[in-house]
């Protein structure tokens, strides 16, 4: 068991069994989620005997950064290696990239939930090599911690002042009286006298993998990332994207935490969806939209339809009317995303004129819609591509014919 897969309640029960006072749990959580400690040795205010006990009972693993793409204050992609050598990605997106020359302090992190993906959407890099395994709770939580650790290290390099800040943080946590509530209020307010604001304020579960196919681990990870003693990220700032697993959408509707839901539609008729998303054969639109309706009624939350525009596949204006009908029925807004080309796949993004025409036609139907207008910007490509590229590069060294595996 990894310590980063444990909730405060799990730890309280264990500490009680050990005869440890409750404030020790608060201290431990502070080390994990405020200081983002990557080893037991750092936890200097925990008695050595307790640290040894913890080390015996739990692992404390940190993701290993092996590649990063993109410059600071822009969208950045992180490629991580897991303990079994599998590769996953996270993408960090600033809220206002370098707006007015100021670096943004609010960031959205796009996290992965599986190694590969079993759903095999025809246009997607993540599903190209099939599914390897589900991510464990700590590997989902660990993406946020690792990015924040990285950011802290970077700012130490950039300004020696922050070194003093992290020493102050250490001093602050020497106080054995710090209660879970103190700790919680420090985190929920995102700032304490000696702490910088937290880097990641929003999460989108849109990285590699189908989140709802790893339901239990995802939900436990999100409870930890949402908790005031943990990541402190509000449930409304967490968006789960699914390719359309209808039964799990219904299950999600019954959870106590109100996450936002994004549904990858990419086609407004079964004929169009069938062409690119095999999942549509299992849960066709009628079933999917009924589940969305259930979610929307239970949660009273707006759903987002994601619609990746692919030239000649789903960008025809014949899709606009059925899309508008669905969006109106479910009170959903539509997020149009120009397709990012994947090396080795034949699909292409439509021209800008075609993208704008699709948007205008939707708006004419009184649908609330947005179009992502970034130009080129390969870095903004959906997750899965950096991993694919890296694996291909590695394979080229070993097996030169690997690149021919996919059409």
Q: Known catalytic residues?
A: 89, 383
Which of 41, 44, 27, 35 is closest to 192 using CA atoms?
Answer: 35
Q: How far is the CB of 241 from ligand SF4 (least distance, A)?
A: 7
Residues between 250 and 279 that touch ligand SF4 (CB under 6 A): 264
- C-beta closer to ligand SAH: residue 43 or 276: 276
Interaction partner, residue 296 (ligand SAH, ligand SF4, none; CB < 5-8 Å by kind): none
CB 278 within 8 A of CB 119: yes
For residue 75, state whether it binds ligand SF4 (rule: CB under 6 A): no
Which residue stretch of 43-51, 122-130, 295-303, 386-394 sits at the interface with ligand SF4 (rule: CB under 6 A)?
A: 122-130
Which residue stretch of 2-10, 117-125, 185-193, 391-399 sits at the interface with ligand SAH (rule: CB under 6 A)?
A: 117-125
Q: Rounded distance, CA 45 to CA 174, Å?
A: 5
Interaction partner, residue 120 (ligand SAH, ligand SF4, none; CB < 5-8 Å by kind): ligand SF4
Interaction partner, residue 79 (ligand SF4, ligand SAH, none; CB < 5-8 Å by kind): none
Site string for ligand SAH, 247-286 (x = CB under 6 A): -----------------x----------------------
Interaction partner, residue 306 (ligand SF4, ligand SAH, none; CB < 5-8 Å by kind): ligand SAH
Residues between 324 and 363 that touch ligand SAH (CB under 6 A): 337, 339-340, 342
- Interface pick for ligand SF4 out of 127, 142, 231, 338 (rule CB under 6 A): 127
Residues between 296 and 315 that touch ligand SAH (CB under 6 A): 306, 308
CB 369 within 8 A of CB 333: yes
Write the CA distances from 157 to 153, 162, 196, integer angstroms.
Answer: 6, 9, 15
Q: How far is the CB of 327 from ligand SF4 (least distance, A)?
A: 20
Residues between 381 and 400 that touch ligand SAH (CB under 6 A): 381-382
- Interface pick for ligand SF4 out of 79, 121, 203, 309 (rule CB under 6 A): 121
Which residue stretch of 116-124, 130-138, 293-301, 322-330 sits at the interface with ligand SAH (rule: CB under 6 A)?
A: 116-124
Residues between 197 and 236 that touch ligand SAH (CB under 6 A): 206, 210-211
- C-beta closer to ligand SF4: residue 113 or 201: 113
Residues between 362 and 381 that touch ligand SAH (CB under 6 A): 381
CB atoms within 10 A of CB 406: 14
* Pairing of β 87-94 and β 107-110: antiparallel
- C-beta closer to ligand SAH: residue 141 or 208: 208
For tokens 């990332």, the residue is: 225
For residue 119, state whether it binds ligand SF4 (rule: CB under 6 A): yes
Both tokens assigned to 89: 């990605």
- C-beta closer to ligand SAH: residue 23 or 131: 131
Buried b / exposed e along 96-106 (16+ C-beta atoms within 10 A): eeeeeeeeeeb
What radius of gyration, in Å, describes the C-alpha atoms of the chain?
22
For residue 285, state whether it binds ligand SF4 (rule: CB under 6 A): no
Binding site for ligand SF4 (CB under 6 A): 117, 119-121, 124, 126-127, 209-210, 243, 264
Binding site for ligand SAH (CB under 6 A): 121, 123-124, 206, 210-211, 241-243, 264, 306, 308, 337, 339-340, 342, 381-382
């Amino acid at each position: 068991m990894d310590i980063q897969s444990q909730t405060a309640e799990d730890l309280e029960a264990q500490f009680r069994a050990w005869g440890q006072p409750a404030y020790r749990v608060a201290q431990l959580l502070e080390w994990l989620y405020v200081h983002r400690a990557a080893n037991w040795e750092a936890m200097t205010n925990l008695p050595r005997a307790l640290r040894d006990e913890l080390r015996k009972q739990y692992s404390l693993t940190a993701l290993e950064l092996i590649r990063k793409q993109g410059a600071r204050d822009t969208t950045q992609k992180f490629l991580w290696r897991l303990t079994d050598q599998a590769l996953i990605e996270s993408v960090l997106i600033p809220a206002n990239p370098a707006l007015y020359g100021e670096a943004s302090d609010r960031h959205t992190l796009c996290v992965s939930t599986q190694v590969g993906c079993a759903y095999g959407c025809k246009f997607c890099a993540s599903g190209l090599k099939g599914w390897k395994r589900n991510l464990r709770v700590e590997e989902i939580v660990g993406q946020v911690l690792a990015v924040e650790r990285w950011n802290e290290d970077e700012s130490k390099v950039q300004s020696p002042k922050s070194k003093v800040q992290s020493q102050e943080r250490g001093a602050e946590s020497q106080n054995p009286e710090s209660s879970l509530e103190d700790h919680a209020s420090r985190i929920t307010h995102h700032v304490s006298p000696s702490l910088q604001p937290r880097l990641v304020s929003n999460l989108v579960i849109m990285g590699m993998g189908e989140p709802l196919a790893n339901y239990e681990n995802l939900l436990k990870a999100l409870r930890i990332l949402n908790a005031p003693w943990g990541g402190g990220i509000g449930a409304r700032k967490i968006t789960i994207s699914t390719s359309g697993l209808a039964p799990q959408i219904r299950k999600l509707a019954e959870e106590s935490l109100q996450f936002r839901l994004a549904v990858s539609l990419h086609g407004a008729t079964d004929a169009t969806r069938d062409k690119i998303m095999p999942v549509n054969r299992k849960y066709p639109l009628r079933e999917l939209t009924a589940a969305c309706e259930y979610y929307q009624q239970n949660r009273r939350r707006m759903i987002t339809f994601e619609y990746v525009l692919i030239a000649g596949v789903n960008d025809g204006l014949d899709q606009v009317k059925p899309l508008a009908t669905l969006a109106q029925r479910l009170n959903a807004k539509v997020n149009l995303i120009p397709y990012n080309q994947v090396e080795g796949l034949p699909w292409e993004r439509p021209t800008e004129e075609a993208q704008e025409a699709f948007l205008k036609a939707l708006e004419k139907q009184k649908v609330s819609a947005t179009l992502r207008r970034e130009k080129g910007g390969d870095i903004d490509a959906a997750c899965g591509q950096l991993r694919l590229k890296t694996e291909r590069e590695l394979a080229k060294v070993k097996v030169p014919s690997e690149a021919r595996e996919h059409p």
